Amino acid sequence: MDAQVRQLKLEHLKRRAADALRRGNFRDACDGYTEALRLCPPADRAARRALLANRSAALLGAGRAADALQDARGTAAAAPGWAKARWREGRALGALGRWPEACHAYARAWDLSGGDPECAAALRSAAARLTRPQLADSLLSLLLPGSFGGDGADDVSAGAAQTVGACGGGASAAAAAVVDSEGRRLEGDAAGLRREAVREAMFLEVKEEGPGE
């Protein structure tokens, strides 16, 4: 295909997909962005990252959160300093109910955007969905890096811990069990810190754990 013809077709597909996305026709938007990505030259990184980010939004609207997350993370890998990529990642993670990771993504978006108020609002909203054990582990990850969770868990928890200032109020109560949020028993200093973190977390208005969560 001639380069000029390819570019004209690419622009047409982008306009059509954007229009479908605005109208809430997410399936057509997904198809349009997918076709546009096929035509977009690999060397045009700026265009490709925008297409991936927009397709992530379309996939999320279509109820395909896992696919939306894959595109968002692909965008973030291609443009690690772009706040919008992390925003899309947070949206997809929230739709999947993965709130500690969503907090981390929104925290990165907020940081990269220079403190954008919309990112701050999304971060507060995600923080409100954290359970108390999740918030306690977030606090502990800052005190004892590497002590809780598997690979990458500290990054997720550290991002969630940035949401502590976004919450306030609540009632005080002491935690009896000295385990982390995955049920692993803690001993010694780690147990003491866990107990204190859970006690402090009880002062915050966070989402309670319950059946089905």
pLDDT tens track for 102-146: 999 999 999 999 999 999 999 999 988 988 888 877 777 666 655
Same structural domain, 75 and 169: no
Phi-psi region of 84 (alpha: psi -120 to 50; beta: other; left: phi over 0): alpha
Same structural domain, 126 and 55: no
Q: Tell me how far apart the alpha carbons of residues 201 and 82 are, in angstroms, rounded to a whole number.
A: 32
Same structural domain, 145 and 210: yes
Mean pLDDT for the chain? 77
Same structural domain, 152 and 210: yes
Q: Tell me how far apart the alpha carbons of residues 178 and 171 are, in angstroms, rounded to a whole number.
A: 20
pLDDT at 204 (0 to 100): 43
Q: Tell me how far apart the alpha carbons of residues 138 and 106 are, in angstroms, rounded to a whole number.
A: 15
Domain count, the chain: 2
Q: Taking the CA atoms of 92, 57, 105 and 46 in sequence, report the sign of the dihedral they define.
A: positive
Same structural domain, 206 and 107: yes
Quote the strand ranges of 16-57, DSSP E. none
Percentage of the chain beyond pLDDT 90 is: 55
Domain boundary among 33, 68, 96: 96
Residues 74-101 pLDDT 10s: 999 999 999 999 999 999 999 999 998 9
Same structural domain, 108 and 186: yes
Q: Domain limits at 16?
A: 3-96
Domain boundary among 61, 96, 131: 96
CB atoms inside a 10 Å sphere around CB 205? 12
Same structural domain, 82 and 174: no
Same structural domain, 13 and 84: yes
Largest separation between any pair of C-alpha atoms in the chain: 70
CATH number, domain with residue 25: 1.25.40.10
- 23: burial class by Cβ within 10 Å (0-12, 13-18, 19+)? exposed
